Amino acid sequence: MEANQRIARINAHLHPPNFQVEESSSLRRANCRAKGAGPGFKVAILGAAGGIGQPLSMLMKMNPLVSVLHLYDVVNTPGVTADIGHMDTGAVVRGFLGQQQLEEALTGMDLVIIPAGVPRKPGMTRDDLFKINAGIVRTLCEGIVKSCPRAIVNLISNPVNSTVPIAAEVFKKAGTYDPRHLLGVTMLDVVRANTFVAEVLGIDPRQVDVPVVGGHAGVTILPLLSQVKPPSTFTPEETEYLTTRIQNGGTEVVEAKAGAGSATLSMAYAAVKFADACLRGLSGDDGVIECAFVSSQVTELPFFATKVRLGRNGAEEVFPLGPLNEYERAGLEKAKKELAGSIQKGVSFIRN
């Protein structure tokens, strides 16, 4: 290629006159030429310009399993894409702005991560977000139906206990539903549980594994402290303190941020930990096991979070709860009661 042609391509990349479909196509060509998409997975982040979306996009750009990273939002993706695109890691980054570019953003994706939607302010429950976020999740899932119906979906937008059933209903309606492909992200509950339990035990959190089951709101978040690894015992006071702190972890951050949003940095960390596990599963790695809120037959509820084995087809195996102590059995009953209502609310949003 002539030198002046190469410079023209780079300029087109650096100074797109606007961020419309035609421009993003040329940007895509420039990107592919400039960097070359290596082997790996194609990942889209929907809500990429937000508090979670930005650090999540940065961390996914650093993931060696990712070859192409599509950043979609209804605002600010040109800036975030330009910024992250300068990182000298392998993934090719492309930005997409606004609903008219959703289809293009999703085409060919292997994994779609969704942190789009409004966060809580002090005094709100996650369910208070339903009104706005339910519609956002529906629209984005309709895009997935059209452009990448076989992709694995990691759903972060709250209230997860209702948005996962919403996504399932959208996919069912379109005839594309594969329950193994839809995963509500509860990893932050596990990350918090590992941290708080490690503090109590006085050990490194990286050595700790706490299964957290149920759902992702208040009493539906049920840490199984009797199954902690390494095997540990807790006094009744420690059990009560840890369970309450893990269940209120999100609220602790919302209050500390005092109106400036909810957990973003720890959530981006947790989302990447979970997405990486999904990609390792897709690659064919053995023994990839994490907690997630999925279609389940572990209880009488249609969705429930437990440990799942991630493989080439997503959540290939959903593990049972294992032995629970009396405290956990009581917690399970409370969790199921609240979860049943939240799941029904999500289902009704699409069916009615």
Q: Which residues bind ligand NAI (CB under 6 A)?
A: 46-47, 49-53, 73-75, 115-120, 129, 133, 136, 139-140, 156-158, 160, 185, 188, 216, 261-264, 267
Q: How far is the CB of 10 from ligand NAI (least distance, A)?
A: 28
> Residue 259 in contact with residue 121, Cβ under 8 Å?
yes
User: Does 254 participate in binding ligand OAA (rule CB under 6 A)?
Assistant: yes
Alpha helices in 148-186 (DSSP H): 160-174
Q: How far is the CB of 48 from ligand NAI (least distance, A)?
A: 7
52 is in an annotated binding site: yes
Distance CA 164, CA 157 (A): 9
206 is in an annotated binding site: no
Three state DSSP letters for 196-265: HHHHHHCCCHHHCECCEEECCCHHHEEECHHHCECCCCCCHHHHHHHHHHHHCHHHHHHHHHCCCCCCCH
Neighbours of 89 (CB within 10 A): 15
281 is in an annotated binding site: no
Residue number, 77 or 161, with CB nearest to ligand OAA: 161
Q: Is 216 a catalytic residue?
A: yes
Terminal Cα-to-Cα distance of the chain (whole angstroms):
58
> Residue 60 in contact with residue 43, Cβ under 8 Å?
yes
Contacted by 210, from ligand OAA, ligand NAI, none: CB < 5 to 8 Å by type = none
Distance CA 186, CA 199 (A): 21
192 is in an annotated binding site: yes
- Choose, by CB under 6 A, the member of 194, 262, 296, 342 that binds ligand OAA: 262
295 is in an annotated binding site: no
- Choose, by CB under 6 A, the member of 40, 165, 250, 311 that binds ligand OAA: 250
Residue number, 195 or 251, with CB nearest to ligand OAA: 251
Distance CA 288, CA 314 (A): 10
Residue number, 40 or 117, with CB nearest to ligand OAA: 117
Residues annotated in the binding site for NAD(+), as ranges?
Answer: 47-53, 73, 133, 156-158, 267
Q: List the catalytic residues.
A: 216
